[in-house]
Amino acid sequence: AQSVTQPDIHITVSEGASLELRCNYSYGATPYLFWYVQSPGQGLQLLLKYFSGDTLVQGIKGFEAEFKRSQSSFNLRKPSVHWSDAAEYFCAVAPAGTASKLTFGTGTRLQVTL
């Protein structure tokens, strides 16, 4: 069965600092990979996704993620964090070829200090 691990429950960064959120997955083949963001009291919004091809994918709000097959990782990065980025971030995987059944990680809560 596929699984997703987000090892950091809570991260605090200063505004303007760089950010990296970690995501590791366990799956027999290369799955579809996603990052979602959830602002307080809101639903989930897709930040970016990887299916194949270029291993560095760009998303909305200045986020990017890099797929590393050898490490089974799909880490999310942002060069300079803004206070409005404070939210909870979820990594998710789905079987390759379909986005039907998403398996989510437990999430990382990002706090941004001014």
Partner 1 sequence: NAGVTQTPKFQVLKTGQSMTLQCAQDMNHNSMYWYRQDPGMGLRLIYYSASEGTTDKGEVPNGYNVSRLNKREFSLRLESAAPSQTSVYFCASRARGGETQYFGPGTRLLVL
9 binds partner 1 (CB under 8 A): yes
Buried residues in 23-37 as b, exposed as e (16+ CB within 10 A):
bbbebeeebbbbbbb
44 binds partner 1 (CB under 8 A): yes
Name which of 44, 34, 96 is nearest 65 in CA terms: 34
Region binding partner 1 by CB under 8 A among candidate stretches 17-25, 52-60, 70-78, 102-110: 102-110
Nearer to partner 1, 24 or 104 (CB): 104
Evaluate whether 80 touches 16 at the Cβ level (below 8 Å). yes
Nearer to partner 1, 4 or 112 (CB): 4
CA angle 31, 23, 49 (to 5 degrees): 50
Q: Which residues are at the interface with partner 1 (CB under 8 A)?
A: 4, 9, 32, 34, 36, 41-46, 49, 51, 90, 99-102, 104-107
